Amino acid sequence: MRVAVVQMNSQENKDANLRQAESLIEAAVASERPDLVVLPEVFTLMGESRDAKRLAAEDEGAGDAWKLLSGLAKKHGIYVHGGSILEKAASDKLYNTTFVFDRAGKQIAKYRKIHLFDVTTPDGQSYRESATFDGGSDIVTYKADDVTVGCTICYDMRFPELYQALAKKGADVIMVPAAFTLQTGKDHWEVLLRARAIETETYIVASAQTGTHANGTRACWGHSLIADPWGLVLARTGEGTGFASARIDIDYLRTVRGRIPVMQHKRI
């Protein structure tokens, strides 16, 4: 299976962001011939306005982003892991939600981000994701052909117990769509992703936002990457928009797990 990560620079214009996503997916499909394409976190809107976020939010199965991803999956006969979008909730908050579509365009998985980003970065910027979002609670995997895929989003990567739970559920690949901040990303992004790959002995596929957002007040690190179960980076993008791809080799994954059978050695 070949997987492609798409790196975007989403802004506070949903229509323009959807056009950007479509263009990059089309280019990745033409160039890389992937079986599965992954988009970044909140690819439909990157901004500070709560009103804009609520206007951009969608109901499952009914919004423009959902329909676009379903249509592209069916058009190209690929799996589309839809990064995440803003999903409407019963409360006055939203969910940060991944929707996944199979080769026929059918939705096969939904994951709501569990860990919410309530931090202050080294440059003094404050992020309070819980002011806008409710967290999910379900640990989600799905099948893409013969490959079992686990779902996470961005800040989830700092919680290895989630990745251990996904590995226990049989994940061969774990997705990490992200909008990782520039300040934390330059020091932590690759280190954390490679660590999650090594400790779970899975492929880690991380598709990121890049550049500035919200009228230049926020910045994302970019550097989307795919790491193998040994922790080696197989493919990566730079700082601009674009895509990269790598092959998921299940035979190699089994070889790594045979050499160091960490799941069999667990005692806690």
List active site positions.
Answer: 41, 113, 154
Q: Nearest-CA neighbor of 36 among 103, 86, 93?
A: 103
Exposed, middle or buried, 69 (CB in 10 Å: 0-12/13-18/19+)? Answer: buried
Q: How far apart are CA 170 and CA 148, in angstroms?
A: 6
Q: Nearest-CA neighbor of 250 among 157, 108, 144, 177?
A: 144
N-term to C-term CA, the chain: 33
Cα three-residue angle 228-256-147, rounded to 5 degrees: 60
